[in-house]
Amino acid sequence: MTAVAHGPTTPAEGLLDIFLSLDTPEGFHAELIEGEIVVTPPPDGDHEDYIELIVAQVYGRSKTRMQFSGNKGLLLKHGGLDPKDHVIPDGTFAPTGLRLYRGADSWMPSDGVAMVLEVTSTKPRMDREAKRHGYARSQIPLYLLVDRDASSITLFSDPGDDDYREHCAVPFGKSLALPAPFGFQLDTTDFL
């Protein structure tokens, strides 16, 4: 009897296997967005500064105590076999009481995530469109996009089947209302 090696049964599983086995150069970041493998260079200082400015305000001003995770893998749907269901956001916020970030697994479910944060980088279309659609399909209540090219910050809310039904954009320097469970005005003065 001859042994037969069993590989992926579908092209999607094959792509997921390839993605999970990638060995990216030190500092580079690989993501699987809408079935496309995207490798980006290390973030620049401004990218990290915007994230820190937002995290500090959430920790200091949010009505609900929040945890933050930067660059932890997020499963957008249950099951996780479809490559379109795997994304690595710049950051996620969840109520501390849920303890979503515990455990050794590098991929966490999206259930309980209150808000996803993205800061545009070398492929802004991914943040503006592909990731936004994935987060909406996964019913993540809020998506906060810092768009460096447009010098604006946009809050997407009220997720539908494939997109958010509401959004509010303000230019850097203006404040943006973050609804419950955050419940405060995000100040973007320091973004200028």
Q: Which of 85, 102, 80 is nearest to 31 (CA)?
A: 85
pLDDT score for 175: 98
Q: pTM of this prediction?
A: 0.80
pLDDT score for 90: 92
pLDDT score for 6: 45
Biggest CA–CA distance in the chain, Å, is: 71
pLDDT score for 15: 63
The list of the chain residues with pLDDT below 50 reads 1-6
Give the pair of three-digit tokens for residue 33: 């967005």
* CB atoms closer than 10 angstroms to residue 141: 18
The answer to whether the beta carbons of residues 88 and 71 sit under 8 Å apart is: yes
pLDDT score for 22: 63
pLDDT score for 132: 94
Give the Cα separation of 134 and 76 in Å (integer).
7
Residues across the chain: 192
Strand partners, 38: 31
pLDDT score for 72: 84
Give the pair of three-digit tokens for residue 153: 């910050």
Any alpha helices (H) in the chain, and if so which ranges? Answer: 11-20, 45-61, 124-125, 131-137
